[in-house]
Chains A and B, each alone.
Chain A
Amino acid sequence: MAKITYVHPDGTSSVVDVEPGNSIMRGAKLAGVEGILAQCGGGATCGTCHIYVDRDNTTPLPAMHDLEDGLLCVTASPRQDNSRLSCQIPVTEELDGLVVHLPEKQL
C-alpha cells in the first residue's frame, strides 16, 4: 500500500491507502474522494482528472507523453509546472507519502 494525500481546494485533505497498480485517479475514485471526475475512465482523453503534484526532482513520476501534455493545456483550472493527469500516474510503493492537490474545477 502507498499513502496518497489528496488536498482539496478548501485546504482539507483525504488520506488514502492506494494499492500499487491503481492510478492516482483510481485511488481517489475507489475511496470516494471528490474532485477528480475522470469522465473517460482513465485514458488520457478527457482532461478531467487534473492534479497538482507536490514533487521534487527525486519524485519517481512517469514521463509525460504528448496526449497528456496536450490535454493539460486545455484543463478547466490553469496548468502549472506540477500539473499532471492523475490517470497517467500508476501508484507504486515509491510514491508512498505523495501529496497531490485537487484543482478548483475539472470542467
Chain B
Amino acid sequence: MVDPEMHNETSALEVLAAVHDPEIPVLNIVEMGILRNVRMDGDRLIVTITPTYSGCPAMETIEADIKTCLRKAGWSNFDVETVIAPPWTTDWITDEACRKLLEYGIAPPERGSLDKSGLTASPKTVRCPQCKSENTRLLSQFGSTACKALYKCNQCLEPFDYFKCI
C-alpha cells in the first residue's frame, strides 16, 4: 500500500536526486536535466527521463539506478518512461551544476542554447578549468563521451574536457 504521507512527488524527487550520471558522477540526474518529470498517476509513480544524446550509453544504467533507488526507499508501484521531445539541451544544466563541473575539471557549456559555432565554425573562448586561462584551443569536437569536446590549455598545457552546447 502507498502511504501518501511518505510516497508523493516531493519524496520521490528527493530519492531521485541521489541518482548520478555514471559518466559524470559529480552531477545527479536532476542537475543534468535528464529527469524531466515526476508525477503520481493514482497510486503509481511515473518518472520521465530524456537522453542527452540519442546514443547515450548511460541511459540504461540510469534507468536501472532509478529503479534501485526507488525500491530502496520503499517504492514498489512505479514506471520509468523515456521521452525524446523536447530535445535535451545544455541550457537545462543548472548553474549550480555548472559550478560543480568546473570544480570537477570539466569546462561547463557556454550559455546561450544551441552552439552557433556548430553552424558557423566561429571560434569561441573556453576557459581552462585548471588554471582559468582563456588561452585554450580545440583539439577535437568529439571527446571522451558524446557530450564533450576535447580542448587543450596553451598556458598550463593540460588537456581538458569541455561540455559542448547542444
Partners in one complex: no
Chain B contact residues, CB within 8 Å of chain A: none
Chain A contact residues, CB within 8 Å of chain B: none
